[in-house]
């Protein structure tokens, strides 16, 4: 059986985000449907497939519809597939801050995806913010200023593995704080892990970086999803950032992650 172009799209908000229903990603997807789903991803940036119930190998193939899965050099791998990375927050810790994945490399991850295996009965929602919409609302003088500014991050991949302890930062990488997608649309590109800004003075960095982080995380640019076991979500990691809300105490949260990224430059 092959999944064909019969799915439904349910928008999550006026800016971005959508749930896709009436498609079975456990089955091969035909070329027309693959192309259509890629267009949905470009438009909506965050796609949720409720009750997809993907195996590790099926999750990899689902991500492959949109981009090539990434072989993380330091992540702990799933027993059933080397491109799948298991997380259990009770041992790996929670990611309860606004962030973008893969800022340790150039380019960062293009896509992150999760399949939820166990979640708390209440709470544990995830927020995404549209970094392109946040950029659109900046004044023209600030947009001109930011074209020459980069944010500096820890570039040690070991520090980003499941449950890793962040050691001393001995090497860094810089990413422009304005990023343009393949369709020409610009967006902010900033993560909480930014150490400082380059292209401005130290004093200007101390003033500008907190402003950018606060602006990009405004509720005006966000959507919110809650989860059930079996749900599959993937998002454009170069045009959004996300926040896993820590309101479920010691409750369970297990999921599998598959990433995508272009070759490092």
Q: Where are the domains of the chain?
A: 8-128+222-260, 135-219
Predicted confidence (pLDDT) per residue in 116-160, tens digit: 999 999 999 999 999 999 999 999 999 999 999 999 999 998 887
Q: What is the pTM of this model?
A: 0.95
pLDDT of residue 3: 53
**Unique residue bearing structure tokens 């659109």:** 136
Read off the pLDDT band of 1 (50, 70, 90): very low
Predicted confidence (pLDDT) per residue in 75-106, tens digit: 999 999 999 999 999 888 887 899 999 999 99
The answer to whether residue 175 scores a pLDDT higher than 80 is yes
* C-alpha–C-alpha distance, residues 202 and 179, integer Å: 22
**Unique residue bearing structure tokens 């990434």:** 70
Mean pLDDT of 44-48: 98
The answer to whether residue 65 scores a pLDDT higher than 70 is yes
* C-alpha–C-alpha distance, residues 265 and 245, integer Å: 33
Higher-pLDDT residue of 246 and 164 is: 246
Nearest one of 124, 90, 91, 70 to 237, comparing CA atoms: 70
User: Is residue 140 helix, strand or coil?
Assistant: helix
**Unique residue bearing structure tokens 């454009």:** 236
* Mean pLDDT, the chain, integer: 95
| CATH of segment(s) 8-128+222-260 | 3.60.130.10
């Amino acid at each position: 059986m092959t999944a064909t172009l019969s799915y439904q799209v349910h928008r999550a908000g006026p800016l971005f985000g959508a749930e896709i229903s009436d498609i079975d990603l456990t089955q091969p997807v035909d070329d027309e449907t693959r192309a259509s789903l890629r267009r949905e991803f470009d438009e909506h940036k965050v796609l949720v497939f409720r009750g997809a119930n993907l195996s590790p190998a099926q999750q990899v193939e689902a991500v492959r519809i949109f981009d090539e899965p990434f072989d993380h050099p330091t992540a702990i791998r799933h027993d059933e597939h080397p491109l799948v990375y298991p997380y259990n927050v009770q041992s790996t810790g929670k990611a309860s801050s606004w962030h973008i994945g893969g800022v340790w490399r150039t380019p960062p991850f293009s896509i992150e995806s999760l399949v939820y295996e166990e979640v708390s009965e209440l709470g544990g929602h995830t927020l995404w913010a549209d970094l392109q919409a946040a950029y659109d609302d900046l004044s023209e003088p600030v947009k001109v200023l930011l074209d020459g500014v980069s944010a500096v991050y820890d570039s040690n991949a070991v520090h980003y593995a499941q449950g890793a302890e962040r050691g001393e930062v001995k090497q860094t990488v810089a990413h422009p704080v304005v990023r343009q997608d393949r369709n020409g649309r610009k967006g902010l590109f900033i993560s909480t892990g930014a150490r400082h800004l380059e292209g401005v003075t130290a004093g200007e960095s101390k003033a500008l970086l907190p402003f950018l982080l606060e602006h990009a995380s405004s509720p005006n640019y966000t959507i919110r999803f809650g989860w059930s076991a079996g749900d599959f979500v993937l998002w454009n990691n170069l045009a959004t950032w996300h926040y896993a809300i820590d309101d479920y105490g010691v409750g369970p949260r297990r999921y599998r992650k598959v990433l995508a990224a272009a070759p490092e430059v």
